[in-house]
Amino acid sequence: MLRLITGIPGPSGFGSASTAEQVTEGIDATNLTAIITGGASGIGLETARVLALRRAHVIIAARNMVAANEAKQLILKDNQTARVDVMKLDLCSMKSIKDFADNFIALNIHLNILINNAGVMFCPFQLSEDGIEMQFATNHLGHFYLTNLLLDKMKDTARVTGIEGRIVNLTSVAHLHTYEEGIRFDKINDQNCYSDKKAYGQSKLANLLHANELSRRLQEEGENITVNSVHPGLITTNLMRHSARFVSMF
């Protein structure tokens, strides 16, 4: 916790005060293609910007295409040679996720990196268009489905190129603060016992368990793909839009 607050570097030489540019300095990602969900704002946008700076082909997957195109232009303004494309993806819609995956696969390009970044946080109780509690639907199920739809493409890419694939789930230390029984699989849509904070923690716990199990299975299969969970720290982005009182404390 002290390192998180102070930014003191850890064993890697980097800490919470390190920037994405510092961490990726010297990396040439020319041969890499990365999909970033929620890449139009916040952490996703900074990730897209820096990966494009390192010459990766970046796909910004976003629900708001106006914001996604604005993000693309922002990146191009400072980096005219950046390879950035935008594609429509609404993670709280199974149909949108399937359409996105089909459209990407139809491009017939490699996929080296999948960063499952997008999410909602502490929102009032509501259901997705598929009838699932919104935080669980968007943060976990959407990314779970997307990852599975793109997994064969990532396996093929790793085999053909010999380059290790990377799947990254943006989770949170909030996974420790969920319902007493952990994930309430039989009460996901129970509005009577809904807590916006615990429901968020539940979805982040699911992200972490998904990464752990997928990593185990890929290792068993001998696939050249790593899967990791990342706690990005406390950052005031649009994700905090339902948390005005919480944000005012910092």
* Structure confidence by residue, pLDDT tens digits, 13-71: 988 888 999 999 999 999 999 999 999 999 999 999 999 999 999 999 999 999 999 99
Instruction: Report which DSSP code applies to 179.
Output: B
In a domain? residue 1 = no
In this structure, the dihedral spanned by the alpha carbons of residues 219, 145, 189 and 199, taken in order and rounded to 10 degrees, is: 60
In a domain? residue 65 = yes
Longest Cα–Cα distance in the chain: 52
Q: Which residue's entry shows tokens 């603060």?
A: 177
Per-residue burial over 8-28, b if 16 or more Cβ lie within 10 Å, else e, is eeeeeeeeeeeeeeeeeeeee
- Is 194 designated active site? yes
Range of the domain at 148: 27-247
Per-residue pLDDT band at 10 (split at 50, 70, 90): confident
In a domain? residue 21 = no
In a domain? residue 2 = no
The backbone torsions φ and ψ at residue 210, rounded to the nearest 5 degrees and listed phi first, read -60, -50
Q: Considering 145, 179, 194, 200, which one is annotated as catalytic? A: 194
C-alpha pair distances (Å), 16 with each of 3, 10, 20, 210, 231: 7, 9, 10, 25, 11
Question: What is the pLDDT, as a whole number, of residue 231?
Answer: 82
